[in-house]
Chain A
């Protein structure tokens, strides 16, 4: 399974999805550019006016600065999670794209990796757009972020999306119809994306929330991003956070392969 990650068959699947996506590139790039602007206005400038500033790691930061890294990690998570939910389901169930692909030299393991990598690729493209918007906000003096770190963090976020995409595929492998997608989206995806240290410090809400957050890779990703983007240097806890993300990548992608393989056998 792991050997197939870099196989040409996997790349062929990812390339196909990219080609289809780029057919509508004008509309495709509107959400990643507009969404952070809207979120920045709503959460940062709207809500931020009432919140004012927060104490973060011993220093005072504006809510606008606090929320900026959260918007970026939120983008990494939601884009990859939603793509492997809806996008993969539509290709499998309605468009019969998977049936066409598995009749070729491409194996199911390549197809599943291709879908995971495509969702990650799309999320990373979105995150790059969001980063550019954040960089523009920084240059306009709206926030103060570590710009050099901003783009160095992109590969970390890209790696984490493998876990998020795989997480989405777990549900894709189970739901019978597209209407059933509402359950994972609204019971899992939306709550997780909003309560993982993205828009508020969840670990300060309740000890139980803090304990549960330790198992959440998005929480760790947001923590690393916020710390680094607000000027923090390397810390020992970051290694532990990276290990949690790595474990999520390995565990969730393994499970996604097992479950999706069974679903694809049934769909054949």
Chain B
């Protein structure tokens, strides 16, 4: 594939449900073989955007190009090259683990033998070997999630959509999934991810877009985005009336939560503030994507 052609390009995408505009003139560009994260508070339009991009919802307007090909005109061919792991549990609980994958293979017109071979490889890759003939309902929550991800990969997709794939996974399983995503990226698969775990997005993503009210409010590489908004450090201090008054009086932006005040400001302000604070516990740490998310969206998640 020509490196200049985006794996997925979205131009002017809009979608409303009644009077509510959920996706508003959205533009995205995903390069081949990158991990792209779409972040945003609940109701920001992430899942709706994803559903439009993989063809489950019709947009009101906009253009979607996969590898330069218009999704409307080449929809059926394009759909053969994408994989989806949705937020909802869509596993066929009446079928075995292996049958779940083989049936998904038929949805991509794979011959039965090929589907079976790919299913065996994917089960081994996702640590599900030994569960081939288990009924899907017998799997633990983490294994179910892995099975759903395995199904999304049965067609060796060029672009794979993962809607909050690590929800409900323990830290070990999460990291195993991160490893898998890294491997897929190395193999050239483009990964479109939504997540509420900012550490996940920061660790994995080559490119992040933060969405609010259906519009892009910030995008770029995680480190560059953080650098644009913060100095070297952010300051965290215990929430006291004295500290709050001080910050408000000097009009220094801060976020209040968890019994702490987090100050997002330039390096000089942070240094000046730190010098004047005495007697209170003070933490100076590097800013992260979660700080940026809270600063930009003005809310927790």
Residues of A at the B interface (CB closer than 8 Å) are: 8-9, 12, 15-16, 19-20, 23, 95-97, 99-107, 265, 268
**Which residues of B in the span 53-103 have a Cβ within 8 Å of any Cβ on A?**
54-58, 75-76, 79-80, 84, 86, 88-95, 99, 103
Contact residues of B: prevailing secondary structure: loop
- Chain B residues with CB under 8 Å of A107's CB are 55, 75-76, 79
Does B255 have its Cβ within 8 Å of any Cβ on chain A?
no
Query: Is the pair A100, B90 in contact by a Cβ cutoff of 8 Å?
Result: yes
Does B107 have its Cβ within 8 Å of any Cβ on chain A?
yes
CB closest residue in chain A, given B96: A23
Residues of B at the A interface (CB closer than 8 Å) are: 51, 54-58, 75-76, 79-80, 84, 86, 88-95, 99, 103-104, 106-109, 151-152, 155, 161
CB closest residue in chain A, given B163: A103
Query: Is the pair B58, A265 in contact by a Cβ cutoff of 8 Å?
Result: yes
Partner of B56, one of A8, A19, A102: A102
**A105-B76, A105-B79 in contact; A23/B95 too (CB < 8 A)?**
yes
Query: Is the pair B106, A12 in contact by a Cβ cutoff of 8 Å?
Result: yes
- Chain A residues with CB under 8 Å of B84's CB are 103-104
CB closest residue in chain B, given A16: B103
Q: Tell me how far the C-beta of B262 lies from the nearest C-beta in chain A, rounded to whole angstroms.
A: 38
- Chain B residues with CB under 8 Å of A102's CB are 55-56
- Chain A residues with CB under 8 Å of B57's CB are 265, 268
Partner of A19, one of B88, B91, B103, B109: B103
Q: Tell me how far the C-beta of A90 lies from the nearest C-beta in chain B, rounded to whole angstroms.
A: 11
Query: Is the pair A268, B56 in contact by a Cβ cutoff of 8 Å?
Result: yes
* CB pairs A–B below 8 angstroms (26 shown): A12-B106, A16-B92, A19-B99, A19-B103, A20-B92, A20-B94, A23-B94, A95-B90, A95-B92, A97-B90, A100-B86, A100-B91, A100-B151, A103-B84, A103-B86, A103-B90, A103-B161, A104-B84, A104-B107, A104-B155, A105-B107, A105-B155, A106-B107, A107-B79, A268-B56, A268-B57
Q: Tell me how far the C-beta of B72 lies from the nearest C-beta in chain A, rounded to whole angstroms.
A: 13
**CA gap between A15 and B104 in the complex, in Å:** 11
Query: Is the pair A105, B109 in contact by a Cβ cutoff of 8 Å?
Result: yes
**CA gap between A102 and B51 in the complex, in Å:** 10
Query: Is the pair B51, A268 in contact by a Cβ cutoff of 8 Å?
Result: yes
**CA gap between A103 and B162 in the complex, in Å:** 11
Q: Tell me how far the C-beta of B193 lies from the nearest C-beta in chain A, rounded to whole angstroms.
A: 15
- Chain B residues with CB under 8 Å of A268's CB are 51, 56-57
Query: Is the pair A101, B107 in contact by a Cβ cutoff of 8 Å?
Result: yes
Q: Tell me how far the C-beta of B79 lies from the nearest C-beta in chain A, rounded to whole angstroms.
A: 4
**A103-B84, A268-B57 in contact; A12/B90 too (CB < 8 A)?**
no
- Chain A residues with CB under 8 Å of B99's CB are 19
Query: Is the pair A96, B90 in contact by a Cβ cutoff of 8 Å?
Result: yes
